[in-house]
Amino acid sequence: MNSWERIGVIFRKETVDNWRDRRSLFSTLAYALIGPGMILLMIVILGGIFRTEAEKPLELPVAGQENAPNLIAFLKQNNVAVVDAPADPQAAVRNGDIVLALVIPAEYGEAFTMGQPASVQLLVDSSRTSASPDVSRARQLLQAYSGQIGTLRLLARGVNLNVINAVSLEEVDVSTPQSQAFIFLNMLPYFLIMTVFLGGMAAIIDATAGERERGSLEPLLINPAARWEFVVGKLLASVPFAVVTILFTLVAFGLIFTFVPTEKFIGMRLTVDVVALGAVFLICLPMILLASATQMIVATFAHSFKEAQTYLGWLPLIPALPGLALAFLPVKSDLWTMLIPTFGQQLLINQLIRGEVVNPTNIVVSTVMTLALSAILIYIAIRLYNREQILFVKSSG
Amino acid sequence: MIQVTNLHKSFGEVRALQGVSFAAHDGQITGLLGPNGAGKTTTLRVLYTLLTPDDGAASVDGFDARHDAMEVQRHIGALPDARGLYTRLTARENIRYYGQLQGLKGAALEDQIEGLIKLLDMDAIADRRTDGFSTGERLKVAIARALVHNPKNVLLDEPTNGLDVMGARAMRDVIRRLRDARHCVLFSSHIMQEVAALCDRIVIIAHGRVMSDGTPDELRQATGKESLEDAFVAIIGSEEGLER
């Protein structure tokens, strides 16, 4: 009987044992749905907000409408629903009864006729961020009106309009609708890393801290197998669970983008290519070993199943948080980023989901780096299991 | 055949073993008697290669525990202090796992398991998951998996711990049958009556040292006591940590 046969025996036992642990299995799969669920929720809720805000008329309470009939007419032409402001508009804005109000003082008409700057007041509460799209729309409209009147006045005095346009600004938005909507997909690498760490976690804890807590580690280690064989067998047994969990998450993502009518919520269809999802799956595979080896080392120091669970629950945040930051601070997939295990993969996943061309060198480098780090961690785990203290990490001493 | 020579082992400040030497022979039951904390479990752990002695040597059938650990493990069956089972596996699966780790497979393994199930009267529980087993049922599974490869040497650490009267009696029967089948049986206990009733040879250990080593008759003669239990107390010098 050689080492690999014994590793096979250990692998099969751990797989069967953990497969029968239905409670852990189902809770892992339920956790794996959190990512796809969150993204779906964001599309439905945030998408809904963006879309309706842009289309519905801006409701603008105005005090002193009679003082500026032309301005009111201009606003109405520009999709503004002008309503009467409450008696004390300042208090109403401060209390949040209305998000903004326009106050046109009685002196407005006089100043306007004299050609003086006629002041109006836009009442806002800058601490209320939900109001900001409305506020900026109102501000833009008022500035547009001011610009329009100013231009007309210059024209009336025979001034060539080009003299006031020192710089001509033309904004060209190059983002496709697809890339704007990708803000939702930027969360995907974060959730996938969580899944990679989560998938095999129950199996690893059961095979390490759980084994010790049950009192089955001492008799197990009396069997004629080298410690490295136990470590490798137990580590490999976590892989099928992680693979299934990752597949489960990716299929859930795929189904969401295939069957949920995203165009209803964000005005466009979000699609994810099946081939891209397949590539994402393959890129995740080397990270499973990394996750399991790290968890094995951490769980070795835990006194109990519960303690191991607490430590390992936090562990995925370390590699996943940079990925979350990526959703807001885009980093280009340069070669150096591929040298950092898990970070490189998150960039690659991002590229694949966006349908960008991925540099094969980057895939190779990130995979090799991840496997190399995994090998080092597995070596450390084996060293830990070779120590005789492995039996005695027990809270009772 | 188990041979232990001048074992020393310390854990930090605690000197668990300070020169333990004895031998246990085939076809004999050798008892390792001593109060709790005397060094019995540490000695056994050195024998099943989980601990490396600071000094001295332990060997099983001529294989050195330090340098030939895997061979030693093939030649022993052990019921250690911790005897947890896999609760999601059946009794039979628990035993089979250890058999496979010992290199058995196929019909030979299944026959061996079936034989142990009969020997230990486990038919009713063999294909149930071990979750919810009584202490006695768990112990039977632990014994069966330790014996699955039919080891020549059997090491039992306080085998009757937690058993009721019936269970303890059944356990003693198993130990005697192993002796009759020419196994070398080494078991530790702090229960004097049990050691007196079972053992062909008794090693008395206290404070990490062997206080006395011999057959029951030799121990009685050396102390001049009529009862074996009085002889034990005389040798150790106190009854503390022992049970009559």
Q: In this predicted model, what pLDDT tens digit does every residue of A281-301 receive, in sequence order?
A: 999 999 999 999 999 999 988
Q: Is B102 on the interface with A (CB under 8 A)?
A: yes
Residue A43 lies in a domain: no
- Comparing CA positions, the residue from A186, A323, A193, A203 lying closest to residue A246 is A193
Range of the domain at A199: 3-32+179-391
Those of residues 377-396 in A touching chain B at CB distance below 8 A are: 388, 391
Residues A274 and A339 in one domain: yes
Number of domains in chain A: 2
Residues A97 and A138 in one domain: yes
Residue A182 phi, psi (nearest 5): -70, -10
In angstroms, the CA A292 to CA A376 distance is 12
Residues A166 and A187 in one domain: no
What CATH number should be reported for the domain holding residue A121? 3.40.1710.10
Residues A199 and A345 in one domain: yes
Specify burial of residue A207 (Cβ count, 10 A radius: 0-12, 13-18, 19+). Answer: buried
A207: nearest CA in chain B?
A: B86
What is the pTM for the complete model shown?
A: 0.80
Residue A132 lies in a domain: yes
Residues A152 and A74 in one domain: yes
In angstroms, the CA A293 to CA A380 distance is 9
B74: nearest CA in chain A?
A: A224
Region of A158 on the Ramachandran plot (φ > 0 left; ψ -120 to 50 alpha; else beta)? left
pLDDT tens digits along B214-236: 999 999 999 998 888 899 999 98
- Per the model's pLDDT, the better-predicted residue between A160 and A104 turns out to be A104
Identify which of A10, A13, A223 has the shortest CB distance to residue B73. Answer: A223
The SS3 assignment for A122 reads strand
Residues A154 and A303 in one domain: no
Of A120, A149, A172, the one marking the end of a domain is A172
Identify which of B73, B88, B146 has the shortest CB distance to residue A21. Answer: B88
Mean confidence (pLDDT) of chain B: 94
Q: Is the CB of B84 less than 8 angstroms away from the CB of A216?
A: yes
Identify any residues that bridge with B214 across adjacent strands, giving them in sequence order. B202
Identify which of B83, B100, B103 has the shortest CB distance to residue A219. Answer: B83
**Sequence-ordered list of residues with C-beta below 8 angstroms from that of B103, at least 6 positions apart, any chain:** A1, A224, B74, B149
Find how far residue A206's CA is from the centre of its chain.
Answer: 30
Q: Looking at CA atoms only, how far is residue B235 from chain A in angstroms?
A: 30
Residues A132 and A203 in one domain: no
**Sequence-ordered list of residues with C-beta below 8 angstroms from that of B10, at least 6 positions apart, any chain:** B16, B54
CB A1 within 8 A of CB B100: no
Mean confidence (pLDDT) of chain A: 85
Number of neighbouring beta carbons within 10 Å of residue A129: 9
- Per the model's pLDDT, the better-predicted residue between A340 and B149 turns out to be B149
Specify burial of residue A162 (Cβ count, 10 A radius: 0-12, 13-18, 19+). Answer: exposed
> Can you tell me the mean pLDDT for A143-170?
78
- Per the model's pLDDT, the better-predicted residue between B224 and A332 turns out to be B224
What CATH number should be reported for the domain holding residue B70? 3.40.50.300
How far is residue A387 from each of residues A336, A359, A383, measured CA to CA in Å? 37, 43, 7
Residue B65 lies in a domain: yes
Number of separate helices (H) and strands (E) present in chain A: 20, 4
Residue B109 lies in a domain: no
Band (A143; pLDDT cuts 50, 70, 90): confident
Residues A259 and A320 in one domain: yes
Range of the domain at B40: 2-87+151-236
Residue A309 lies in a domain: yes
Q: Where are the alpha helices (DSSP H) in chain B?
A: 40-47, 69-75, 91-101, 106-119, 135-147, 165-180, 192-198, 216-223, 228-236
Residue B141 lies in a domain: no
B81: nearest CA in chain A?
A: A218
Residues A166 and A185 in one domain: no
Number of domains in chain B: 1
Q: Is A226 on the interface with B (CB under 8 A)?
A: yes
**Cα dihedral sign for A64, A68, A69, A74?**
negative
| pLDDT for residue A178 is more than 70 | no
Identify which of B84, B101, B103 has the shortest CB distance to residue A214. Answer: B84
- pLDDT at res. A179: 54
> Can you tell me the mean pLDDT for B203-212?
95
- Comparing CA positions, the residue from A346, A343, A345, A350 lying closest to residue A363 is A345
Residues A140 and A278 in one domain: no
Residues A247 and A145 in one domain: no
ipTM of the complex: 0.95
- pLDDT at res. A43: 78
